[in-house]
Amino acid sequence: MGQLNKIAQYLNQNIVGNVFDKLSIRYAFAEDRSIVKNIPDLVALPETTDDVRKLLRFSNQLANRGTRLPVVVRGNGHDKTGSATTNGMLISTRKLNKIQEIDVRSRLVRVQSGVTLGQLNSALSLYGLTLPVSADEHETIGGLISNCYSDDYASKYGGILNFVDRAEVALVNGDLLRTETVSHHALSRKKSGINLENEIYRTTDRLIAEYEAILNRPQNIIDSAGYHTIALVKNNKTFDLLPLLFSAQGTLGIITEVILRPAVLRSHTHFLMANFKTIRPAIDFMNFTKTLQPLMVNIYDNRILKTAVENGKKPQIFPHRFGAGFTVLVGFDDKPRLARKKIRSCLDFLPESVRVVAEDNDNTNDFAEFNNAITSFLNSAKGERAPIIDDSFIPPEHLTQFIADLEQLETILNAELPLFGSFTSSNYSVRPDLKLEQISGRQFALSFIQSYSRLVQEHAGSITGGGPEGCVKSLALKPPEKEMELFKEIKQVFDPNNILGSDIKTGAHNITTIRRLRASYNHTIITK
């Protein structure tokens, strides 16, 4: 009996869920939606919070004895940066999928971290509530928190960060931390013990004071790399560790339960699509729509929609022929009368030369097909459009020149780089064709990451502005030395043995990531 089999057998005797060392199961968890592949030694499917605590405690005890069994946590594998893969023990929250309680009067809901967005919103809709986050319905609540992407609705509703009230977190030594908002007076009590939680409170409070200059940088700088959310932990009156969990990608602890404060369910979203020949009038229009407080304003290079048409997707709202240019999709979730009024304002703003289609009773299904068309582009038979470096922040005032420079980068790399993303959150993605089965294709991926990152930085943007780095974006990241010191100190107090996500975020190594680049991206349907 092999060592891994002995470990799996021991753990199975001590938890309710299951731990597997079978190769076929391990292989099924070797990939997320990134371009890396990493076959875990063990796959654990805990069914209770105590299961998670026991798994972490076991790994930490091994580390104390000099044996490493690194751990990553995985929801449904939607991460695009390689953070849901490991060569150690992968803990899946797939069976932590219960909606524990819905308190309609207080508008609170308590869920396990493996509950999906679709599952939650289906249940909440019965009570006239919703979690207004634009994401794949199969993404887990724990995953949404851990990655904290700036979604298409974030400019209006604030993203997942705005709806989490409290969280229960299994720490690396098996202790359980329940986040709460405490006064500065109560903070003294939180810092006055000898367990890991007390040490976390002490160290975090000290780091906030010690690195004040870094944490008080201008608010227009958006960055999800490292643990920048420590800046949100303390204000003039209260202290709450909860923000540190956002964008941490499971490297500080494993979220097991969450208390959310959902929003009131809004009306049907009314859409408008406008097609522009150049970027400047498109930006003028999007700036105008922002004054109307839309739910979303998305922009797509027309080549994306042209590819979708070639793949057989052609809603009637699409032009008969796509030329160069950009398509803008605007959505309003106000009450019907107000939404129609805002759409009329958009129509009045646009010149007659712009092709525009507003949603009505006859074309609702065509607008519903729009996202399917985008998915068709991402899964084009012409190439693999893996999310290499999605979710970059580009300041609005730089977008016109950024797109012009992106065209020059296309010439340099000899590759089409059509852009799409959210104008309201300034969060954009580019998905080039890839041939990952070829060495030249993997070399191109690395070249693109470096070149595109430089372009984003030249325009005062951030490749981690709309989502954290994992290990893939780390290939192009070089945080200032002082910032990295802060991040490493945060990681050290939560995870002294560097067990959780040891190869991502602060622990990412370029050589290791490059070795794990996968040779194919044909295993799954790619969504935004």
Nearest Cα neighbor of 96 from 129, 134, 53, 57 is 53
Same structural domain, 131 and 85: no
Choosing from 94, 115, 139, the residue where a domain stops is: 94
CB distance 72 to 500 below 8 Å: yes
Per-residue pLDDT tens digits for 18-54: 999 999 999 999 999 999 999 999 999 999 999 999 9
Our count of domains for the chain comes to: 3
Same structural domain, 45 and 140: no
Strand partners, 140: 116
Contacts of 348 (CB under 8 A, 6+ apart): none
- Residue 442 domain flag: yes
Length of the chain: 528
Domain extent for 321: 270-458
Choosing from 232, 264, 296, the residue where a domain stops is: 264
Dist. CA 325–CA 309, nearest whole Å: 15
CATH of the domain at 50: 3.30.43.10
Taking the chain (528 residues) in consecutive chunks of 10 residues, what is each chunk's mean pLDDT?
A: 86 97 95 93 98 98 95 95 96 98 96 98 97 95 95 94 97 98 94 95 97 76 86 94 97 98 93 95 97 96 86 77 90 95 97 92 85 69 73 96 97 94 95 85 91 96 94 92 95 98 93 88 53
The tokens describing 342, both together, are 């805002």
- Residue 469 domain flag: no
The tokens describing 120, both together, are 């939650």
Same structural domain, 144 and 85: no
**For strand 164-170 and strand 254-260, is the pairing parallel, antiparallel, or unpaired?**
antiparallel
